[in-house]
A = this chain, B = another copy of it.
Amino acid sequence: MNYPNGKKSSSQSLRKKEKPDFSNRGMTLEEDIAFTNEYYRIDNIANIHKKPTPVQIVDVHYPKRSAAVIKEAYFKQASTTDFNGIYRGSYIDFEAKETKNKTSFPLSNIHQHQIDHMKDCHHHGGICFLIIKFSLRDETYLLPAEDLFHYWEAQFSGGRKSISYLDIKSKGELLPFHYQARVDYIKVLDKLYF
- Please give the residue numbers on chain A whose beta carbons come within 8 Å of chain B beta carbons, in ascending order: 41, 44, 46-47, 49, 51-55, 57, 67-76, 78-80, 84-91, 93, 117, 120-121, 123-126
Q: Which residues of the other chain, B, contact A44 by a CB distance below 8 angstroms?
A: 120, 123
Establish whether residues A71 and B72, one from each chain, have CB atoms under 8 Å apart when the complex forms. yes
Cα distance, A135 to B183, chains bound together (Å): 45
Report the nearest B residue to A5, measured CB to CB: B124
Cα distance, A71 to B125, chains bound together (Å): 41
- In the complex, the count of this chain's copies comes to 2
Establish whether residues A124 and B87, one from each chain, have CB atoms under 8 Å apart when the complex forms. yes
Establish whether residues A121 and B69, one from each chain, have CB atoms under 8 Å apart when the complex forms. no
Query: For chain A, what secondary structure do more than half of its interface residues adopt (helix, strand, loop), or is it mixed?
Result: mixed
Report the nearest B residue to A60, measured CB to CB: B75
Q: Which residues of the other chain, B, contact A71 by a CB distance below 8 angstroms?
A: 71-72
* A79-B49 contact given A55-B55, A70-B55, A70-B74, CB 8 Å threshold: yes
